[in-house]
Chains A and B, each alone.
Chain A
């Protein structure tokens, strides 16, 4: 029993090497580069849309302290939404296309960004606010020049969490026929080719690792040196 499992496993992993090394995998409309770029494009657009929605909302509710409870509650409900159900519902309502994928991914990505931005701004020591106001800053100046930089590590953490979730979940795009790396997973299952499923999954993990790397770099570039490592410290 264990022998067969081990043998299948070995064959599987060898199959993956074989799958990656075949030339037809790297060219054409359903080659790895095209699918990879599709996946990056869907994930990127979904993340950008979610950030455009959630970051200002989080900054505003965090800064004024108003509507924060409502925003967090909404985020929690959104977090409970089954992505796959949302995807299929929107497909039934609007038809096949990129829109359902975007709706589902944005619903997935907004909660972590919103919650982290809100908590990041709320968590800024009020003494800093008092100091900034004492120096003559107005409300929005306090927000942009004091609260935002201090909250930035947490905001980036929220964005990274969302990005990794989006990258892993964008595979469902293949279920409604619009490509991405999920194509390999879905087709691999249909053709009973475990090597192909594994190959697709590995590419997604690779992309997620790249995302982590990009956010590490962003953190280095954008976060003030004195505030580095704060996100992990608070967490």
Chain B
């Protein structure tokens, strides 16, 4: 495939504003709102699952079954009710983030050491204040680890919404590229989607650093707390926090 044939720069230059910029903005809007809605549902759900342990297994099964429904099918099924509005894309995508976010919020809260909780109680913190001022801040790294996976997955999945005409870079790929047998918009769509995902991922890392000032300036070995306190250096120096390591159950 000749370079000229596969990627036509003059097409990109001519269409920077209309299809490219417009679709990129739609993509950003759809993914941001989906992730935000997902987080708004996952936080109380995760808190409940951490508080009432018996709720955890059925909740986990529920969000995992949701995750197995193909996104195209969900978009199409919502179309008769919500039409070609952003909600048609946002509702399914927000539901998908739950499979990653709910277990991470619950696990993050469950990892709060009991002596910390007791100290908060001893200082006179009520349940709500303890949750907001002590437990959730400690859970931030685990929650953000999940948020990073959910964000990257959502941004790449918004493209599917383009197949049913809901906008975003998927629509650029489909109507400007695929249907006209013209590769340039397809490449542009993929590249912008990947760039957006990696940018948001990086922004979340920065957000985590801003939200956990007590972790700065300490050796990363400190991050792999509680479970293996006496890990040898070398192997133990990996940067990961425990919940960051394994792929969440329904990731991607």
Contacts and interface: CB of A to CB of B under 8 A. Distances in A.
B interface, how many residues as a size bin? Answer: 35 or more
B167 interface: no
Contact of A168 (B1, B71, B197, B228): B71
Interface string B140-160: 000000000100110111111
B131 interface: no
A84 B173 contact: yes
A80 B159 contact: no
Contact of A185 (B76, B153, B187, B240): B76
Given A82-B190, A84-B162, A119-B240, A197 B73 contact: yes
Q: Mostly helix, strand, loop or mixed at chain A's interface?
A: helix
Contacts of A182: 70, 72
A72 B183 CA distance: 29
A125 B232 CA distance: 9
A interface, how many residues as a size bin? Answer: 35 or more
Nearest to B172: A85
Interface of A: 5, 8, 65, 76-77, 79-86, 88-89, 91-93, 108, 111-112, 115-116, 119-120, 122-123, 125-126, 154, 157-158, 161-162, 164-165, 167-169, 171-172, 175, 182, 185-186, 188-189, 194, 197-198, 200-201, 204-205, 208-209, 212, 231, 234-235
Nearest to B151: A80
Contacts of A186: 72
11 contacts: A79-B153, A84-B162, A84-B173, A85-B193, A88-B177, A89-B183, A92-B186, A119-B246, A168-B68, A189-B76, A197-B73
B242 interface: yes
Given A162-B252, A164-B250, A201-B77, 20 more contacts: A79-B197, A80-B155, A81-B194, A82-B189, A82-B194, A84-B162, A84-B174, A85-B159, A85-B173, A88-B178, A89-B190, A116-B247, A122-B235, A126-B234, A154-B245, A168-B68, A194-B76, A197-B77, A204-B68, A234-B245
A185 B177 CA distance: 23
Interface string B189-220: 11001100110010000000000000000000
Given A79-B156, A235-B243, A89 B187 contact: yes
Contact of A84 (B107, B159, B197, B250): B159
